[in-house]
Chains A and B, each alone.
Chain A
């Protein structure tokens, strides 16, 4: 899957019944759940504004906050590593695993580790890596990417999961897998063994708290808690933008995160971890590391795209997007999909590889509307469109057309003549359709329009022509 192939991938996704069923369920259920949950807050608009301002302030003093966070982690007996890019981050994690003498690694779902391709990198080192979030585990077995930030296996149905487990879980079965409960029991059994046998646990972090040195990890399955307490080494891999100043600030974001994401006041598990096991602790890792990943984030500082760094990865923009909820995440061909993915990916990969993504939006504005930190996603998509245009990266035949049209539109008299001519020609080519007329096609012209639609026929003259003729007659009379 590649972002360059968005049109073909999107068209294919429209024909996948399982995916379409999942997307339809999401589209009809999620907006209502989110709206109800947010309506339960005393003053959502005020909280949203506070979150936005706090995120902006944090991003404005990122270096200071990260250093404060690092000092807290060191004081607690942990180590912080700074990775400029994906390669460095993977190398650091790999070396930490080697130093720990690790063979088996368990992971809790993390988009940053997807972004840097950590699993592939660790496997190339000979490590056995097991994802422990149920959805992530399923797609790992299938060799797929997440199709949603929170629900990575959204594109799959029960039958797909059954087939995957039957292929990969080599266990005797009296009859084929049918019930979700049975599949869950199998996955639990497999994962329990992985948890108990792992040398290193890797998690992401939803937030870092500078004031206390906490890494905050939010899940619904509790798998992150096992991943970070059972193995002897815990490695947190997260983006540099995740830091917030205080626990109070964390509270603001936690109140918004699960409500925006799943329509619940809180996720099932919200865990704050601060370092390795202390003397007297009953459990916990012996070694604790945090890998702070930049990977293009700092290049957004001071630009009009900086608000992207506010993102708390709630996925509300995906759940409310007419395009995402039509084609799902894989069609985007990028790690991050949906509106936030379309806005963020060009910053991570460059616009050339991702030029379709900012165009694959109707700019309807619902993403910005539902964003709990008010990221102006449509403006940022327009910015990337301008970058693609300036770099002459086409996503269609629009470039010469746009130039010609720009010239015309700047010359009203000529523009009027061209519109009038078009109105006449289109009228002449139209055919009756009930009480009105329509065009069914224009040969090779306008294929994008006519592939799926007719064009209601115009009257045959423009309004401005008619108006001016009438004015002339009035003056003549």
Chain B
């Protein structure tokens, strides 16, 4: 007897959808390997920008839409800590005790960031790809502080044969990368200086790749890397775990794992 296949709806996230679809492909692959039936219902935005801009009404409107979009799936998984943190904030957007609040609570309880989700349901990767590279992991703030995601991506990455994890110096490890949504365009000089501190800390580790779980941080950091003319690459943890780092020199599962 096998348990019925449980369903996962992918929360694509706007940035991944438009700017790096490969991250969604990788997330779908990981969820499929873990034995889940993956669906991608047509979806808009979770409302994080509105929530952070102080438009709670607008955020509540989008929250209701997302609650409807993701009704009926066992889980909702996203390759982003900050979008999932937004879903977890939904209950606070509605009057306590209201039907909306209950539905929001229900969605929040089913919503997980991809590494956190794999760690809970499929902590051993089925097809860990070989990656002969050294990587430094950037803990995005929403994941780290709102969702408690720190060990999960490291535990998953450490299953990749050939991969070496390098930690940032303590002072820089806990610091924000300076993205902050609209912050990065409103106060770009400050944002860039914070990014440079993070990047210099990554460079100091000598890592070949910067890996992270939130595309906002990664685009901001990679954009800054490109502007500074540095060869370091920023990749999403889902791409790394699925063996789908574009031009990353990853190999197939080498048989030493369980694949």
Contact = CB atoms under 8 A, between A and B. Distances in A.
Interface of A: 6-7, 10-11, 14, 27-28, 31-32, 320, 322-323, 326-327, 359-366, 368-369, 382-390, 395-396, 398, 402, 405-406, 408-413, 415-416, 419-420, 422-423, 426, 433-436, 438, 446, 448-449, 451-456, 458-459, 461-464, 466-468
Nearest to A389: B54
21 contacts: A6-B187, A27-B171, A32-B170, A362-B194, A363-B180, A364-B145, A368-B145, A384-B54, A386-B56, A398-B182, A406-B58, A409-B50, A410-B44, A412-B65, A415-B44, A452-B188, A452-B227, A453-B227, A456-B226, A463-B12, A464-B42
Contacts of B62: 406, 409-410
Contacts of B174: 31, 320, 366
A452 B188 CA distance: 7
B146 interface: yes
B155 interface: no
Contacts of B50: 402, 406, 409
A369 to B, nearest CB: 6
Contacts of A412: 42-44, 65, 69
Interface residues of B, number: 68
Interface of B: 12, 14, 16-22, 24-25, 40, 42-45, 47, 49-56, 58, 61-62, 65, 69, 141-142, 145-146, 170-171, 174-176, 178-195, 219-220, 222-224, 226-227, 231, 234, 246-247
B190 A10 contact: yes
B85 to A, nearest CB: 9
Given A322-B175, A362-B176, A409 B54 contact: no
A433 B234 CA distance: 14
A411 B19 contact: no
Which 4 residue pairs of A and B lie closest in terms of their CB atoms, listed nearest first? A362-B180, A448-B185, A385-B54, A386-B54
A364 B141 contact: yes
Given A366-B176, A458-B19, A452 B45 contact: no
A326 B177 CA distance: 12
B63 to A, nearest CB: 11
Contacts of B180: 361-364
Contacts of B183: 359-363
A422 B18 CA distance: 7
Given A31-B174, A415-B45, A453-B220, A458 B190 contact: no
A408 B185 CA distance: 21
A408 B193 CA distance: 32
Contacts of A455: 219, 223
Given A366-B175, A409-B14, A463-B12, 5 more contacts: A7-B186, A10-B189, A368-B145, A387-B54, A467-B24
Contacts of B47: 409
A28 B56 CA distance: 36
A362 B21 contact: no
B44 A31 contact: no
A60 to B, nearest CB: 20
